[in-house]
Amino acid sequence: MAVWAIGDLQGCYDTTQRLLERIRFDPARDQLWFCGDLVNRGGQSLETLRLVHSLRKNAKVVLGNHDLSLIAIGERTVDEKRRVNPDLQRVVFADDADELLAWLRQRPLAHFDHELGWLMVHAGLAPNWSLEDALTYAREVEVRLRGGSYRKLLRSMYGNRPMFNAKLRGFDRYRAIINVFTRMRYCTPRGRIAFEEKGVPGSQPIGLYPWFAVPGQAVRDVRIVCGHWSTLGLSISGNVHAIDTGAVWGGKLTALRLDGDAFELRQVRGRMLDPSQAAEIEE
Task: Give the whole-angstrom CA distance, residue 76 versus residue 220.
Answer: 39
CA distances from 120 to 144, 207, 208, 226 (A): 20, 27, 23, 6
**Beta carbons within 10 angstroms of residue 198's beta carbon:** 15
Q: Which domains does the chain have, with CATH numbers?
A: 3-282 (3.60.21.10)
Per-residue pLDDT of the chain (283 residues; tens, 9 = 90+): 999 999 999 999 999 999 999 999 999 999 999 999 999 999 999 999 999 999 999 999 999 999 999 999 999 999 999 999 999 999 999 999 999 999 999 999 999 999 999 999 999 999 999 999 999 999 999 999 999 999 999 999 999 999 999 999 999 999 999 999 999 999 999 999 999 999 999 999 999 999 999 999 999 999 999 999 999 999 999 999 999 999 999 999 999 999 988 899 999 999 987 554 444 433 3
Phi, psi at 38, each rounded to 5°: -70, -25
